[in-house]
Amino acid sequence: MPVTFNLGEALDSLLKAAATSAGLEAAAFVPDVRIADPRHGDFQANGVLGYAKARRLNPRAVAEQLVAALPAEVAADYTVAIAGPGFINFTLKPATLLAWLRAHDSAAHLRANAATARHGQTWVVDYSSPNTAKQMHVGHLRSAVIGEAICRLLEFSGAKVIRDNHVGDWGTQFGKLIWAYRRHLDAAAFAADPLEEFERLYQVGNAAADADPAVLEQARQELVKLQAGDPENLAVWKHINAVSLAAFQPIYDRLGIRFDHTLGESFYNDQVERIYRELAATGLAQESQGALVVFHPEHPRFKTQPFIMRKADGASNYATTDLATALYRAEYFHADGIVVVTDFRQADHFEQLYLTVRKWFAARSYRLPELHHVTFGAVTDADGKALRTRDGGTIKLKELLAEAEARAYALVSERSAELPEAERRAIAAVVGVGSVQYADLAQNRSSDYVFAWDKMISLEGNTAAYLLYAVARIHSIFRKLDAVPGEAATEAAGTPPETPAELALARKLVKFADALRLATDTLRPHFLCLYLYELAGDYSAFYAADKVAVDDPAVRARRLLLCARTLLVMETGLGLLGLRTLTRM
RNA sequence: GCGAGCGUAGCACAAUGGAUAGUGUAGUGGCCUCCGAAGCCAUUGAUCUGGGUUCGAUUCCCAGCGCUCGCACCA
């Protein structure tokens, strides 16, 4: 019989069908299948408890009816038991475990089976989104790392994903910056580090404007000229942006990020008139204190807190461009879903934005995509304060990544001194960046995250290195036995798992599908991290308990199959998180 | 003031309304003539307070307390 990728979902369907044939009110019955505690089984159906209680029935009796109505294939694949007040427990039989492992024997097969949930859908993911003319700092890391993982998860579930870097390239800061750029550019400093020089120039312009009203006026004029399309200022502005984006690229390269588009705020400049017109025409927008704003009377706060979409001076702001951006993504990209990844402080803005977009699109009969604002907490130091350098400055992302790599290099040199230096450097690059990425991903994104080098790179517990170490050990076994993962002869000779450690590992492997679904549906990559960590733990326990390189060919084949499949799932899962893997470390 | 997020062992975290609340670290005690000990095994220790809904609440609702953040033209 065919083995489905997501066994829990398949059970859910079978239970619904059984409810009908058992004469239950099938429409009202929700099987509620979920991963069970391994002590109870692999999956459990909790749905009969609520169903029976609501109808004053005996839950155990209902469960028995339901189990009796299940097709024979379920009894062939699972040991089924009714337990406690009416839980139905399903424990996979060893032969079923083997069948699943055999059916999912390559990255292509995993991908093909996973890529049904969002087949044919288009999702736009807006992440990273730094301001130009500034360096990326630690605050930009979470958006980039979480956003990239979400892109990969959505792609794996079958969606076409459009990665859009919505850079802040059109702020009022450009007046002062252009003023200073024209007068105080240090060519040598610019050549050494353009972003550092832009930041210095902005500070020079800012200080000069503070000190001298004439300078302030000149800077204002520079901005007016820029916004009016003055060719010279436009050229300077374009140069600043081009240089900034080029300077970001090495960081994106290290994080494995490639954007499809970099449509910053300036891209929407010529579309704001349409936004004003349409929101005024639909009656959503109104004049208030000289500004054009949207109130939401049904909302406890936004009935009085305005969504300002045109300032009193007539200028647009980020509400305007975000409205235009939503429209562009719906009209031009035909997005079925939009995901914007920013920190939680922008929650109010996006709540107002999405309320407005929903009403606006409804009024114009535009097709409304799913709108998601993926938020994440602050990165703090051990005292819970925003993470800063010792002198109070922000921590630059490129320095942070360099330090991660340096720490990883020191560690690998200590643990694996026998490896050639070039390889230790290469390992440090993977472990260093991966540790930073993983530390960001492994924690539920809603909460603040305490940044601590020691926890991140110490390589114990739920860290990238622990997972990469498990992967490296599997590769090491294959090297030692002069074998290749997934070899046909070995796979064919593999028999069902037998020992407790083999069974625990196999049972964890088949739950990859559920972890993927959970992480993707909730847009929370930490569910996948948690799964991979547990998988690595089950593998390590298996590794310690059951030797692979034994003489008995049947036992060896059985265990090599488990090694090959663990490797496949680990490498696939880590790849979805945006991490690279190693064969030695 | 109004609103949002968060509150789980000493510390850092997990738990899609389910069974005895899981893990790491720190502590304690074991395991390398044996595939990589960056590992494995065992063990001590926790749901902010008070109500409510539910067969069942860390989870949902209400009220408090604490921390963080947001609230008229920055993004």
Strand B and A40 CB separated by under 7 Å: yes
Helix (H) or strand (E) holding A207: helix A194-211
Would you tell me how many other CB atoms lie within 10 Å of the CB of residue A108?
Answer: 8
pLDDT of the residue at A302:
94
* Model pLDDT for residues A473-493, shown as the tens digit of each residue: 999 999 999 999 999 999 999
CA of A469 to C1' of B38 (A): 7
Which nucleotide comes closest to A34 if you measure CA to C1'? B16
pLDDT of the residue at A220:
87
Strand B and A374 CB separated by under 7 Å: no
- Given a cut of 80, whether residue A460 has pLDDT beyond it is no
Strand B and A384 CB separated by under 7 Å: yes
CA dihedral A339, A343, A348, A354 (to 10 degrees): -10
Q: Which backbone phi and psi does A378 adopt, to 5 degrees?
A: -75, 155
pLDDT of the residue at A404:
94
> What integer is the mean pLDDT of A567-577?
98
C-alpha closest to that of A510 among A78, A216, A210, A193:
A78
CA of A574 to C1' of B1 (A): 47
- Given a cut of 70, whether residue A2 has pLDDT beyond it is no
Domains contained in chain A, CATH given: 7-92 (3.30.1360.70), 171-258 (no CATH), 397-577 (1.10.730.10)
- Given a cut of 90, whether residue A169 has pLDDT beyond it is yes
- Given a cut of 90, whether residue A127 has pLDDT beyond it is yes
- Given a cut of 60, whether residue A58 has pLDDT beyond it is yes
* Model pLDDT for residues A369-384, shown as the tens digit of each residue: 999 999 999 888 877 7
Strand B and A41 CB separated by under 7 Å: yes
- Given a cut of 80, whether residue A459 has pLDDT beyond it is no
Q: Where are the beta strands (DSSP E) in A316-442?
A: 337-343, 370-376, 379-380
| Residues 48-77 of chain A sitting with CB below 7 angstroms of strand B | 49-50, 53-54
* Model pLDDT for residues A197-222, shown as the tens digit of each residue: 999 999 999 899 888 999 999 998 89
- Name every residue whose Cβ is closer than 8 Å to that of residue A1 and which is 6 or more positions away in sequence: A73, A76, A77
Strand B and A158 CB separated by under 7 Å: no
If you average pLDDT over every residue of chain A, what do you get? 94
pLDDT of the residue at A390:
67
pLDDT of the residue at A455:
82
Q: Which backbone phi and psi does A261 adopt, to 5 degrees?
A: -145, 150
Strand B and A296 CB separated by under 7 Å: no
